[in-house]
Amino acid sequence: MKDTRIVKGVKLVKQYGATRALNAVDIDVKAGEIYGLVGNNGAGKTTFLKILTGQTMADAGEVSLFGYTGESEKNRARKRIGALIESPGFYHKMTAEQNLEYYRIQRGIPGKDMVPRALEEVGLLEQRKKKFDKLSFGMKQRLGLALALMGDPELLVLDEPINGLDPAGIIEIRNLLLRLNQEKNITIVISSHVLAELEHIATCYGFLHHGRLLEQISAEDLKAKCRSYLEVQVSDRERYTALLESKLHCRDYRVMPDGAIQILDESIFAEDCGRLAAQHEIAITSLAEKKIELENYYMRLVEEAN
Ligand code: ATP
């Protein structure tokens, strides 16, 4: 079977003096994914992205790009990557268009039409004659994306492109990334320190913390883990769980260390739990509908790792 992994990092290590920025990190990004790399400041996100773009080298471990592992092959493969890592040095007194043209020539990207195409892609064609310092913050971010898009990349590597944007700006960038992914089939690796920012677009997540990858999980699996559940406390736990199984045919439940019973079976409602207890003279001391929020899930992973 064809390997669909565009990026495969195996046991990547990066050390800066006494700081281990990446510690045996395994990351896989498959073709067509929007991979959300989530982590607090200093987690190692930028370091990983820079290894992808060749701006820095790993001290140990291996990264393959588009299936290539050799350094010269990887350098060629990097032409298929568009990146926005840290602020690109745009010239404030040059227009949006002039800035892109400057970088197009500097990077040896053929075709003058690349510039208007990239501007159009990010919705900045009308602003092309505006000087960079007259663009709004959101427009500046989009210009950075246009720069990354020149050369028709297959993989976009974006370091916190949503950081600092207002809610409308966040939605704009999100929609743009979704469109690039769905219509142009561009694979995207995007980092953020706020999980919720990536919630509506990521198809897979990698949670980094102090240089370690705590978990890599598909959006679908994460959603399943974050579903709602019922939490019940009863006077006779053993009898109640036996009744849950025999009378309500519930298999998907778990008993927590504090004695609470979490019922994950979505066909069972709070009324069913109450009725079951009443019919068998078991007292319910608490009954609540709960939901694991995405952000809480991540916070819990971090707490467990500390
Ligand atoms: P942020 O969101 O703050 O950018 P990050 O998750 O992108 O965080 P990195 O920038 O990869 O994290 O940094 C990981 C660790 O490595 C941090 O402790 C940082 O201080 C350190 N580090 C990064 N680059 C260098 C460098 N060039 N020299 C020394 N230390 C560095």
Cα 47 to averaged position of ligand 1 atoms, centre (Å): 6
Kindly report whether the global pTM for this prediction surpasses the value 0.85: no
Cα 62 to averaged position of ligand 1 atoms, centre (Å): 20
Cα 236 to averaged position of ligand 1 atoms, centre (Å): 52
Spatial strand order of the sheet with 19-30 comes to 19-30, 5-16, 60-65
Each residue of 152-200: pLDDT tens digit?
Answer: 999 999 999 988 888 888 888 899 999 999 999 999 999 998 888 888 8
What single-letter amino acid sits at 170?
Answer: I
pLDDT along the chain (306 residues), means of 10: 78 95 96 95 95 95 93 92 89 95 92 92 93 92 93 94 85 92 95 86 95 94 84 96 95 90 91 95 94 77 82
Each residue of 151-160: pLDDT tens digit?
Answer: 899 999 999 9
Distance separating alpha carbons of residues 272 and 76, to the nearest angstrom? 62
**β-pairing, 187-192 with 155-159?**
parallel
Q: Which of 298, 85, 74 is nearest to 190 (CA)?
A: 85
Which residue's alpha carbon is at the smallest distance from atom 1 of ligand 1? 41
Tell me the backbone φ, ψ of residue 250, rounded to 5 degrees. -90, 125
Distance separating alpha carbons of residues 273 and 268, to the nearest angstrom? 8
Binding pocket residue ranges, ligand 1, CB within 6 Å: 16, 19, 21, 39, 41-47, 193
Contacts of residue 242, defined as CB under 8 A and 6 or more positions apart, other chains included, come to none
The preferred substitution site among 14, 19, 194 for testing ligand 1, maximizing ligand atoms within 8 Å of CB, is 19
Q: Quick one: pLDDT at residue 305?
A: 81
State the sign of the Cα–Cα–Cα–Cα dihedral 58, 21, 25, 201: negative
Q: Quick one: pLDDT at residue 16?
A: 95
The preferred substitution site among 12, 14, 25, 41 for testing ligand 1, maximizing ligand atoms within 8 Å of CB, is 41
The preferred substitution site among 25, 46, 85 for testing ligand 1, maximizing ligand atoms within 8 Å of CB, is 46
Which residue's alpha carbon is at the smallest distance from atom 29 of ligand 1? 16
How distant is the alpha carbon of residue 199 from its chain centre?
8
Q: Quick one: pLDDT at residue 2?
A: 52
